[in-house]
Amino acid sequence: MGMKDIPLNERIILALDCESPRLAMEWVRRAESHVKFFKVGLQLFMAGWFHIVDSITSRGHKVMLDLKFFDIPETVGLAVRQLRDRGVAFATVHGNDSILEAAVREKGDLAILAITALTSFGEEDMRAMFGAPVNIEDLVLSRARRALEIGCDGVVSSGLEAARLRHELGHGLFIVTPGIRPGSNRETPMDDQKRIVTAGDAITSGADHVVVGRPINTAPDPIAVIETMQRQISAALAP
């Protein structure tokens, strides 16, 4: 499989990290002239349940439901089954082989994205979690390889690991990259994200989609930020 034919207005997945469905839909209406893909995370889903998903998809947009399912395999499988026929494009699952296998068995037309390592984690966080030094890039590649073998459609990973994933695993999986910032690390405060890149760098490295929240929704001119990132993406995709 070669490079995917993804419209520019679906390359950015706008994270609707909002406290209410009303505010989320204001952002959808504000951004939909430029963006057709939106992320619903745990906070918004708990506030709006499937109504917020339906409100977005009814406008012709795609939804990434980022709930990071993590539980015993049967429970995760049953949860994924609830997403069938909801118009959700991507759903995220966090866990070992048996958890991912359960999700894949129930996914239907839904694309399952396996979480590799959260972009808020750095080397010290991984050391504390595992009790020993961990090479994040090796860990991400190992988890991505297993997810692809199990039947997942893609992974969520930092742009710092995207190039190796694409080189090692080819174009047969989606790579969705959070931790996106408009400028360089020196220009942009990282807040709780530790492994960050620009939108253009992520796409150049092999990402299919970039997930962006705060750099857009805290900007004085959110549409200008979107347009800047889309120019970066277009340049990265140019022959």
pLDDT digits (tens, 9 = 90+) for 80-123: 999 988 999 999 999 899 999 999 999 999 999 999 865 555 55
Pair 165, 182: CB distance under 8 Å? no
Higher pLDDT, 67 or 159: 67
Q: From CA 57, how far away is CA 33, in angstroms rounded?
A: 15
pLDDT of residue 131: 46
Residue 6 CB contacts under 8 Å (≥ 6 apart), including other chains: 208, 209
Using alpha carbons, select from 58, 160, 165, 172 the residue that is nearest to residue 111. Answer: 172
pLDDT band at 186 (very low <50, low <70, confident <90, very high): very low
Indicate whether 50 pLDDT > 70.
yes
pLDDT band at 7 (very low <50, low <70, confident <90, very high): very high
Residue 23 CB contacts under 8 Å (≥ 6 apart), including other chains: none
Instruction: Please indicate whether residue 62 is annotated as part of the active site.
Output: no
Higher pLDDT, 4 or 52: 52
Using alpha carbons, select from 170, 169, 162, 167 the residue that is nearest to residue 209. Answer: 162
pLDDT of residue 187: 45
User: What phi and psi, each to the nearest 5 degrees, are found at residue 61?
Assistant: -105, 165
pLDDT of residue 189: 47
State mean pLDDT over 55-83: 97
Higher pLDDT, 27 or 138: 27
71-103: b or e for each residue (b if 16 or more CB lie within 10 Å)? Answer: eebeebbebbeebeeebbbbbbbbbeeebbbbb
* All structural domains of the chain with their residue ranges: 9-237
- The matching CATH number, chosen from 3.40.50.300, 3.20.20.70, 3.40.50.720, 3.40.50.2300, for 9-237 is 3.20.20.70
Higher pLDDT, 63 or 172: 63
Q: From CA 68, how far away is CA 103, in angstroms rounded?
A: 11
Catalytic position from the list 4, 36, 68, 194: 68
